[in-house]
Chains A and B, each alone.
Chain A
Amino acid sequence: MENEPMSIEVARVSKKFGAFPALDDVSLKLETGELVALLGPSGSGKTTLLRLIGGLEQQESGRIFFDGADAANISIRERQAGFVFQHYALFRHMSVLKNVAFGLSVRPRAKRPPRAEIERRARELLKLVQLEGVERRLPAQLSGGQRQRVALARALAIEPRVLLLDEPFGALDAKVRKELRRWLRKLHDTLRITTVFVTHDQEEALEIADRVVVMNQGRIEQIGAPREVYDHPASAFVCRFIGNVNEVGAAFIRPHDVEITSRRNGAPSLDAVVEFVNTAGAVAKMDLRLEGSGELLEAELPRSREAELALKPGDRAFVKFRDVRTFPS
């Protein structure tokens, strides 16, 4: 790619839809070449933030900088932001090849490559996204995963300095989704374009992003590497949203941080009764009812440990927590 990827800075941006605050004083800095996930439930403002960066919406206040230049002065046409839409927005009457070539073919005459060169580059991109052989098909004749890759190739054709993907895997079934996201990570490692993608799926964000931006109600809750966000959630919201969590009183405990013994071993522990055991899976899952408070606790433990304990519903057990988190309310 000829163009250098760029850094993006979002500074104190707010945006309302009617009375609904979609984004509330959001600031964020994206480094050159990183892959960032905007993660949050629907209505958290993640898609709005992505569309603001892409120039598809205008913020009410705050500024966005591309490599230090105010994006307000850069029209959407000149932004060189490759946008991949949630439902792809492929041109339904154009072949796959024409879709991919579009961005090059609408360039002003002076900057437009010759026809043969456009076609060569479009084919090259289709090869990159592993879609050789479907050049002449219409979008309607492709599978969801193929459409997704056409949309990506189309966005890459304009040699974008930033790639923006809105729920890129949202419309795909579970298996294709998993394959495609690993493939996207590999592609990113090859191209090294600054990339932002929006998702509501924490697994997806944690698996492939360099950094995760967790959003809630128009604000950023936490920014950090996946491991950091998972291990050190900055708020109760992040803790609840990322991974499963038990809430015992004001304490947050991950299911895999629950330790179970079948008899009291001297260390301080809580009394509980086993309610449910599921051993079909990579780890064994157990539901326990705490005596006294009556709260339900989910625990995950290695299958070998579960076999050792041999607990059945109704049995008495003792639990203690390896790690407990609390958040100021």
Chain B
Amino acid sequence: MRKKEVLPGFGLSLGYTIFYLSLIVLLPLSAAFFKAGELTWPRFLAAVTSPRVLASFRLSFGAALGAALLNAVFGLLVAWVLVRYRFFGKRLVDALVDLPFALPTSVAGIALTAVYARNGWIGRLLEPHGIKVAFTPLGVMVALTFIGLPFVVRTVQPILEDLDADFERAAATLGASRWQTFVRVIFPEIAPALLTGFALAFARGLGEYGSVVFISGNMPMRTEIIPLLIITKLEQYDYRGATAIAVAMLAASLALLLLINTLQRWTAARSAA
């Protein structure tokens, strides 16, 4: 028998939580695995290793990785600037960093396409230099950079805020240059958070659909991302093919989630110490 709780509502709240979680999340997700179970192993492998699928895996992973790296560098820079400096419009900039979280992805998609197309505000400037963004893999990366932008900033920012300025002053009194202080004192402190933000941005980029489909051009073998391929298969009533790819993606997402959880525990342990 469970011991009696002092506070009421444990059974009700936990029961409802598990019921609702199962109904909305676990049951539908398991449907995907059951459906994939209808495929034999060789057919599953064939479905996820056809040249077109492999090309889209390469594109999705590559572009998500590139975008996450770009965001790691510039996200750290933005977080640094927001924490360390005061400048006109800082509060506004700080609030707008979350825009990619709040803006519907289809809106982001058409806006980025309009800006980076050949005749767009930025595309027009790049065109004479032979740089094409829209309808190329580079366009996919631009969209994923937009979508992943807040992650690194928002994971690194609180760590930087908590970093004691005395820490750096101590390094300086010990004779470290500013660069040495950054590399040897500050960077190790923020590294777990930076890695977490990077992984979050990467995971988000891998699954992103709305902001990419407008700017990518969706050419098979060239600019077709995995989520789009799933939709294409669905529209051709190839449910098994779609499910096979989806299950492969789910596996990748779950692995990333596990990694991110581990990283976050590491970050928490670090900041608690």
Contact = CB atoms under 8 A, between A and B. Distances in A.
A binds B: yes
Interface of A: 55-58, 76
A288 B157 CA distance: 61
Contacts of A58: 3-4
Nearest to A54: B6
Interface of B: 3-4, 6
B1 to A, nearest CB: 11
A57 B4 CA distance: 8
A45 B6 CA distance: 19
Contacts of A57: 6
Contacts of A56: 6
Contacts of A76: 6
Nearest to B5: A58
B5 to A, nearest CB: 9
B222 to A, nearest CB: 58
Contacts of B4: 58
B90 to A, nearest CB: 29
B73 to A, nearest CB: 42
A297 B259 CA distance: 61
Nearest to B6: A56
A76 B6 CA distance: 7
Nearest to B3: A58
A173 B6 CA distance: 32
6 contacts: A55-B6, A56-B6, A57-B6, A58-B3, A58-B4, A76-B6
A57 B3 CA distance: 9
A279 B84 CA distance: 56
A58 B5 CA distance: 8
A224 B6 CA distance: 32
A56 B6 CA distance: 6
Contacts of B6: 55-57, 76
B50 to A, nearest CB: 55
A76 B7 CA distance: 10
A55 B6 CA distance: 8
Nearest to B4: A58
A256 B6 CA distance: 48
B6 to A, nearest CB: 5
Nearest to A72: B4
B269 to A, nearest CB: 23
A57 B6 CA distance: 7
A76 B4 CA distance: 11
Contacts of A55: 6
A110 B232 CA distance: 66
A81 B201 CA distance: 53
A86 to B, nearest CB: 16
B67 to A, nearest CB: 43
A210 to B, nearest CB: 29
Contacts of B3: 58
A51 B147 CA distance: 52
Listed from nearest, the 3 A-B pairs whose CB atoms lie closest are: A58-B3, A58-B4, A56-B6
B117 to A, nearest CB: 53
A85 to B, nearest CB: 13
A57 B5 CA distance: 8
A57 B7 CA distance: 11
B76 to A, nearest CB: 36
A58 B7 CA distance: 12
Nearest to A77: B8
A47 to B, nearest CB: 15
A3 to B, nearest CB: 22
Nearest to A60: B3
A56 B3 CA distance: 12
A265 to B, nearest CB: 63
Nearest to A76: B6
B207 to A, nearest CB: 40
A94 B90 CA distance: 35
A31 B173 CA distance: 65
B7 to A, nearest CB: 9
A56 B7 CA distance: 9
B135 to A, nearest CB: 55
